[in-house]
Structure 1
């Protein structure tokens, strides 16, 4: 009897995912950095949904083994680039390959249900592709989203220059004449730096104090990356510490400068940190939906074995009409968790729609609209993070411990702990009390959220 195919679809969505995992891939090969990316796909050709679902199935098939191995995600990035997702998840524009905001969120959430680490990689990449859009006319000559789509780059990095502590000594740019700079310093990054094609980083100019955003090739001989070992969760997100040792930054690599005066910041660019926060919420919710769907499949498999105890270890799958669990407490638990997932999805989708409207407004976005978006994003974080932690904790109780290792005795256990570890790693740094305070202040006093370009 064969184990039912794992589903990464939400527990309340139809199990209509096509395709099985293709032929085995190399387990640890570097990403293709040649610039020739196959399967570049337009965002409006209707194929992205099928491509995403097939890739999610591919990632789900060996998610446990990859999580346990904990290797740098070169193979995962190669799969993404083969499917064309880095090009798809860029800011939409004349290049024609960028997905609209709602579609980008849907893609990232679908991938996260199969592998939360890969979802986080794509979330950071997607927001960073908007960098020159948010900077506007002040941006440098490099059209980052178009170049990223054309080359199929995977972007990583962060706008903040880092802090004074030992782990984030901060980044500094020293003018070298002719508009060039020399980049020095060391800082930690949450995602992608061990496998990225390009890094977008913020650094302080040593002469003016301006915060500049620059594009750096991580293959530069003066760029050194150290991965984070033994992470609790999100082990395949490519997090690490990067050291820049007198890296020359040409004028064309300077993307632009952020305003020094907070009062001079326009509302539209301050959507950048909100966009990243919301995409990470989609990642967390996707992980929870994937956990619940996999627990459902395991419960069905356990019930099938219970009703067919004499079935061989290998053979035809249990018919779809086989009786499933009728334990009222089990049914109630699944009902509670599916309802919680519905609720979180509704709150997250409302914030997603609001941010999509804000991105379309562009420079016309006003302070009031931006404040409303900030509150909806904070609400999405608060609700979805709580639900994701609850679901990924309780699914461990839904699977019979006697059969959780493998109901058919054919291989390793389901590895449900990875879902909780991944959600915990994503949400640990998000202070729910602060988010609730901001929501309450806005609701009670009409206070506008502070305009900031930093996460």
Structure 2
């Protein structure tokens, strides 16, 4: 196809302040192991995930992306992606919650100047605040109107991740006078902000999703983080990276779910519970149908993972280029991420569906909870369908068209 991979830049940790990548991967693995111990019971209870957010906070994962000099973990996006994938393998909903937090809490660095970054990031880091909301376009849009030296925010966002546990909200709103969309930061504790748990999805039940209503909520000028316009006259290539950076979190979530279900079903098979062929005793690893199915799902997931690693390297290299990045280079990165989205979506849906065939009728037991992987993957892929991403890939391959600037749901 000719999609170039941007150089990844140096990988050395020399001169680095704060914990290294190995520390954060170990912290993520330990947290994931902790979440896995009661994942089925928590998912079935469906309670608001305050406890789960506390687990992330205690592990230091909420401030992982904040520079170490500002009191954070000092990690980069490649590490954040790996952490989200690790958490998602144990609990897809908490993986989504954490990925949304990373994207929204970091968004001011893509969209704003240093003064606002410091103003927003300092209290967020000191108090380890959790972020929720979302920048995806919706109808009707939230409205941002001028009032005095600031603004007022009105409208209702029908679904947003993490809002039930959020200490800060970041949402998309259109200027009433110009129609230009902006990212807006809001304190959910304001009395004119109302959060409703009015969604009842069959999957991703612990992602703390809900609706948010804003009734003439005052917004200071400094809390308008920056423009979300897709117009290339307004959008710069470095700012445009907001979209593929955020969409790669969705990819990691789906891959984590796919890898999580395969790992859990494999352990179940090794325990001698799932093989059904009458000529082999329970626990035999020689059922050819099961071996072929494991092989097919492993190839599917590993292929999506390899493509995702290319996309991660491309995004990492593009972030390092900063203001030198061009729109042509951005387009190649965006298309590569779209390819990874399509591959990860298929891997997650196939793995979580067909893994149930390995277990057989025992998969119907709610006590085992294998169905949660399928429900989580299917819920996420309904919110993030890949049909438009495939159109982007095809249009780029055939016509050289730049993909649209589309932020993740």
What TM-score comes out, normalization by structure 1 length? Answer: 0.78
Q: Distance in 1 between matches of 2:408 and 2:379?
A: 20
Comparing 203-212 and 62-71, the one that deviates more: 203-212
State the distance in 2 between where 1:423 and 1:402 align: 20
Partner SS for 1:243: strand
What is the distance in 2 between the residues matched to 1:396 and 1:260?
Answer: 42
Shift in Å, 1:344: 1.1
Residue equivalent to 2:189: 219
Bigger helix fraction: 2
Is residue 2:138 matched to residue 1:162? yes
Higher gyration radius (CA): 1
Correspondence for 1:137: 113
Going from structure 1 to structure 2, the CA distance change for 1:131 and 1:143 (only over 3 Å counts) comes to farther
Distance 1:209 1:119 in 2: 33
Contact conserved, 1:226 with 1:242, CA < 8 A, in 2? yes
Could you tell me whether the CA contact under 8 Å between 1:87 and 1:150 is conserved in 2?
Answer: no
Distance of aligned partners of 1:295 and 1:359 in 2 relative to their CA distance in 1, 3 Å threshold: same
The 5 A counterparts of 1:191-340 are 191-259=161-229, 261-302=231-272, 324-340=284-300
Q: Is structure 2 residue 393 aligned with structure 1 residue 439?
A: yes
Q: Which residue in 1 is equivalent to 2:36?
A: 60
Q: Secondary structure at the match of 1:162?
A: coil
What is the distance in 1 between the residues matched to 2:188 and 2:348?
Answer: 34
Q: Which residue of 2 aligns with 1:365?
A: 325
Per-residue deviation at 1:267? 1.1
Local SS of the residue matching 1:99: coil
Work out the CA distance in 1 between the residues paired with 2:346 and 2:137.
30
Counterpart residue number, 1:187: 157
Q: 1:43 to 1:245 in 2, by over 3 A?
A: farther
Q: Which residue of 1 aligns with 2:95?
A: 119
Distance 1:304 1:202 in 2: 47
Matched, 1:422 2:376: yes
Residue of structure 1 equivalent to 2:20: 44
TM-aligned CA deviation for residue 139 of structure 1: 7.2
Name which of 147, 151, 174 aligns with 1:176. Answer: 147
Give the 4+ runs in structure 1 shifted more than 6 A: none
The normalised TM-score by structure 2 is 0.87
- Deviation of 1:91 (Å): 5.0
C-alpha distance in 2, partners of 1:252/1:213? 11
Residues 442-451 or 284-293, more deviating: 442-451
Return the offset for 1:250. Answer: 2.6
1:105 paired to 2:81? yes
SS of the residue aligned with 1:264? Answer: coil
| Aligned mates of 1:277, 1:43 — CA distance in 2 | 26
Corresponding position of 2:125: 149
| Structure 2: tracts of 5 or more residues without a match | 1-16, 277-281
> Which of these residues, 324, 344, 351, is aligned with residue 384 of structure 1?
344
Q: Deviations over 1:87-109 (max 9, x none)?
A: 11x35474252421111000000
- State the match for 1:310 in structure 2: none
Query: What is the CA–CA distance in structure 2 between the aligned matches of 1:240 and 1:280, rounded to whole Å?
Result: 19
1:353 to 313, 321, 331: 313
- Measured against aligned partners, the alpha-carbon deviations of 1:258-308 in whole angstroms (never above 9, x if no partner) come to 4584433111111112222111111011011000000011111125999xx
The aligned residue for residue 84 of structure 1 is 60
Shift of 1:327: 1.4
* Counterpart contact for 2:49–2:208, Cα < 8 Å: yes
